Amino acid sequence: MTGKVWKYITEKLESEGACHFSLLDPDPLSTTIENVVEIATLAEKAGSDALMIGGSTLFGVIDDAVEKIGAAVDIPTILFPGNVSGVSEQADAMFFMTLLNSTNPYYIIGAQALAAPKIKMAGIETIAMAYLMISPGKTAAWVGDAKPFPRDKPKLPAMYAMAAELFGMKLVYLEAGSGAEGGGVPPTMIAAVSKVIDIPLITGGGFNDAKSVVSAVDAGASIVVQGTYLEKNVQRDNGAELALIVKALKEAGAKRV
Ligand code: 1GP
């Protein structure tokens, strides 16, 4: 059954060509819930289309953060779990992810199986997503026992993305890792992967300015995720620069409608 959030995403992609998602990591060791809620409201004000909530090294329970973020915004809250600890009934939906280039079956199917009963019983909307780790991969690659694809080998994620589509997954995520250097996943890789699949491609990890975000969309990404940029900048100017980044993304997306 198609859920509300998936419908929202597909309708947005159809009418606007591309979406901007904001990643929030409510980790009490490095931030407060109040701070994350403020970033969330500024992201929404700047035009970001949805909030992803999660992280690889989640300390504590995220229910409270998801509930408070959800109460403060109208855009969807989507869980982006790094493990079973990232599941919350408070979110509008969750990316049901499999780290396909992990070397450890736990991150491909083990954690998902352990979380499945709770997710089914709670009736959380799930969006099946192939998660592909691109070098450097950062913390997520280390935690997920991944063998990140080299940045100059686009055929490797292209094959995995095709397999994901054949498995019936709804999205393919090319992840360079939060805080990745080098301006995100290379546009050549995004182009090579998006060309061989008919499902939307989402990418994140190191997209810190309008130029890299627009390059990703021009190369074929449907959704670009920013996390670190928001944490570092969005409160500085009340989201003014983020609004320009989102505007540039939408202009690039409009060319594809
Ligand atoms: C990480 O792709 C996301 O999972 C976002 O990365 O924090 O570098 O924006 P950044």
Q: Is 180 in the pocket of ligand 1 (CB under 6 A)?
A: yes
Q: pLDDT band for 85, please (50, 70, 90 cuts).
A: confident
CB 80 within 8 A of CB 112: no
Closest-lying ligand 1 atom to the alpha carbon of residue 179: 8
Closest-lying ligand 1 atom to the alpha carbon of residue 140: 4
Q: How far apart are CA 78 and CA 90, in angstroms?
A: 10
Q: Once rounded to an integer, what is the mean pLDDT over residues 32-60?
A: 91
Cis amide linkage into residue 136, ω under 30° from 0: yes
Angle between helices 4-16 and 240-254 in degrees, nearest 10: 70
pLDDT (0 to 100) of residue 56: 74
Q: Is 228 in the pocket of ligand 1 (CB under 6 A)?
A: yes
> How do 50-53 and 19-24 pair as beta strands?
parallel
**Number of neighbours of residue 253 by Cβ within 10 angstroms:** 24
Domain that holds residue 104: 4-254
Angle between helices 187-195 and 155-166 in degrees, nearest 10: 40
- Residue with the smallest CA separation from ligand 1 atom 2 is 204
Task: Look at residue 128 and tell me whether its pLDDT is greater than 80.
Answer: yes
Closest-lying ligand 1 atom to the alpha carbon of residue 180: 8
Angle between helices 210-219 and 240-254 in degrees, nearest 10: 20
Q: Summarize pLDDT for 1-10 with one digit per residue, the tens.
A: 469 999 999 9
Q: Is 231 in the pocket of ligand 1 (CB under 6 A)?
A: no
**Number of neighbours of residue 84 by Cβ within 10 angstroms:** 15
pLDDT (0 to 100) of residue 2: 66
CB 79 within 8 A of CB 93: yes
What phi and psi, each to the nearest 5 degrees, are found at residue 127?
-125, 110
Q: Is 131 left (phi over 0), alpha (psi -120 to 50) or beta?
A: beta
Q: Summarize pLDDT for 204-257 with one digit per residue, the tens.
A: 999 999 999 999 999 999 999 999 999 999 999 999 999 999 999 999 999 999
Ligand 1 centroid to Cα of residue 182, in Å, is 12
Task: Look at residue 166 and tell me whether its pLDDT is greater than 90.
Answer: yes
Question: What predicted TM-score, i.e. pTM, was given to this entire model?
Answer: 0.97
CA angle, 51 then 52 then 56, to 5°? 150
pLDDT (0 to 100) of residue 124: 96
Q: How far apart are CA 253 and CA 250, in angstroms?
A: 5
- Residue with the smallest CA separation from ligand 1 atom 4 is 178
Q: Is 57 in the pocket of ligand 1 (CB under 6 A)?
A: no
pLDDT (0 to 100) of residue 1: 46
Q: Is 205 in the pocket of ligand 1 (CB under 6 A)?
A: yes
Q: How far apart are CA 40 and CA 31, in angstroms?
A: 13
Residue 141 is part of a domain; what is its CATH number? 3.20.20.390
pLDDT (0 to 100) of residue 30: 87
Ligand 1 centroid to Cα of residue 234, in Å, is 15
Name the domain count of the chain.
1
DSSP class of residue 179?
A: T
Ligand 1 centroid to Cα of residue 178, in Å, is 4
Closest-lying ligand 1 atom to the alpha carbon of residue 206: 8
